Amino acid sequence: MKKRILISLLLGTFSTVSLAADAEKMTYEKAMQSHKATYGKYSEQSITEQQSQLAWDSYKQKPEESAGGSATLQRTYKQLWKSSSTSGLNTGNVTLNESFRNFDEIVTIGSNDNGQYVQHYRFTPLEYDLAIENSSSGNATLYERDSVSWNGKFTTDTYFTTTGENSKIYAIYGVKFAPGSNTPSCTAGQTKTENVYCNSPQKTCEVGARTQTCSASGDFTPWSITRSPICVSQTQQCP
């Protein structure tokens, strides 16, 4: 009986010592060493916490939607360049009066060489960068519509070097977005109509049309095609 009690006491003492030893295994220093071994590689990245915060703070967030989900954008246009001739520029480089990167969107007004179908072409600075990144020639379009285009690249943020064109350009605008006010943007029942052209490389034989209608809430509905354009390939004759 005494032996059993002694063995039990010894086992209990051993368990206590073992638990105490286990508890002493993980110290703060050892925990920090383990953390650094697991996550330390991230501390070697070139982007600091301050840079990351600055990137977040300077990122242009989209306008918050209203409770009804019908938030609108107000667009402010600034002319960055205009052709010195009313017939448009048909060759040469383009110098803007302000960096195109200062704007949310760029709008170029252009046409084909004979001045028909004067239309707009929109792109954002990011979309331009993506086009350059994926272009084997290192060029992107400043204007494109109905199988005609104006190609090149911005060698500075205000200077576009033209490498090829089969179109004319008349003006370039920078657009800044801002959250819209609660004032209705249109009158219920009001409609807007725009021309619709064939997508490149097709040729437009007959211009189509699309329409927007103002809803009771004072916002325009999405565009609806009311007449499709008649399109043929570049080698075909129009019907």
| Sequence spans of domains, the chain | 70-183, 184-239
Q: What is the pTM of this model?
A: 0.50
pLDDT of residue 182: 60
pLDDT higher than threshold 90 for residue 97: yes
Span 57-82, average pLDDT: 63
| Short-list 32, 50, 48, 49, CA closest to 40 | 32
| Short-list 75, 97, 72, 34, CA closest to 183 | 72
What is the side-by-side strand order in the sheet with 167-179?
Answer: 73-82, 167-179, 105-112, 119-123
Q: With bands split at pLDDT 50, 70 and 90, how would you rate the model's confidence at 42?
A: very low
Fold for the domain defined by 70-183: mini-chromosome maintenance (MCM) complex, domain 2 (2.60.320)
Asked if 122 and 104 touch (Cβ cutoff 8 Å), the reply is no
